[in-house]
Amino acid sequence: MFDISEEEYTAAIEAPVFTCLNHESSWLTKFDYALCRDKLSELVLMAVKTQKSENTIEQNLNSLLDSFYSDFAFSGTSQKVPMSLLNSVAYALNYRTGSTISLGMILTYVMEQLGFDVEMLVFENDIQVLLEVSQGEGYLIDPCSGGQRWYIKPENDDENSLDNAFQQLFEDDVVKLFLAHQKWAFISEKRYGEAFKCVEKLMVLTDGDPYELRDRGYLLHNLNCDELAIKDFEKFIEECPDDPSIDVLQSQIEEMDTHFRTIH
């Protein structure tokens, strides 16, 4: 193993990839956290062997990506695999395939352990991994293929620019995005119980975001908890009275309320 300080070890186990693995334990029936952790450590050890101190950053990057997507056999897939599995870090580690969010977290973690200045971001509505070579310049890496392109952030591009296609993802943002991806994947697969677990976690991480409240109401309705769903919908309407979905929600509330009163 590597000789790392206690501070470095703490930072490593608090990386989004580990946080999301912990979240996955809430809904995966077969889950071995220690095995996933060992697989990540093994990947880092294998990746170290691709690096040479005399190489340039670009040469070491190419060596790593060649191994990650060829020797280690990571990739996206065109197979009909449920998106909730592709988003799963545990699944991606076990089967070497996944989505941009799961593969992005794994690749970012491995690269960080090798000393690359790297982060995840959303660029043109796609999750990418950015290796920053100099201020505002670097390589954008597609987590599903390893394809890379040079990126230069325009000098006049600021956080408030409408043309800004670059959305930086801090560690907390990555975790929220992972949970949001899993929530919608579970909903599309009609796995409302698992989606409910995701939205409950998001409610905590977003300090009770009203849109998560609305989604929780939708899930409660599908879980036959109409009385609780009505409360969530009513609170959402109170907090977001101008939202375009209000009319639909009010109709749903009336329908659920009528059904609830009929039963009782």
- What pLDDT score was predicted for residue 221? 95
- What pLDDT score was predicted for residue 263? 52
Asked whether 142 and 148 are in contact (CB, 8 A), the reply is yes
Instruction: Report how far apart the first and last C-alpha atoms of the chain are (Å, whole number).
Output: 63
- What pLDDT score was predicted for residue 141? 97
State both tokens at 193.
């119980």
Q: How far apart are CA 101 and CA 128, in angstroms?
A: 9
Task: Report, at the CATH architecture level, how domain 6-171 is classified.
Answer: Roll (3.10)
Q: How far is CA 68 from CA 32, 88, 112, in A?
A: 23, 18, 14
- What pLDDT score was predicted for residue 41? 96
Q: How far is CA 104 from CA 76, 86, 162, 196, in A?
A: 11, 12, 26, 24
Model pTM above 0.85: yes
- What pLDDT score was predicted for residue 12? 60
Q: How far apart are CA 193 and CA 223, in angstroms?
A: 7
Phi first, then psi: give them for residue 121, nearest 5 degrees: -155, 170
Ranges of each domain in the chain: 6-171, 208-263
- What pLDDT score was predicted for residue 155? 66
Phi first, then psi: give them for residue 134, nearest 5 degrees: -145, 175
- What pLDDT score was predicted for residue 1? 32
**List of the chain residues with pLDDT < 70:** 1-13, 154-164, 259-264
- What pLDDT score was predicted for residue 156? 57
**What is the gyration radius of the CA atoms in the chain, in angstroms?**
21
Query: What is the DSSP pairing of strand 166-168 with strand 148-152?
Result: unpaired
Tell me which residue of 217, 256, 255 sits closest to 236, measured CA to CA.
Answer: 217
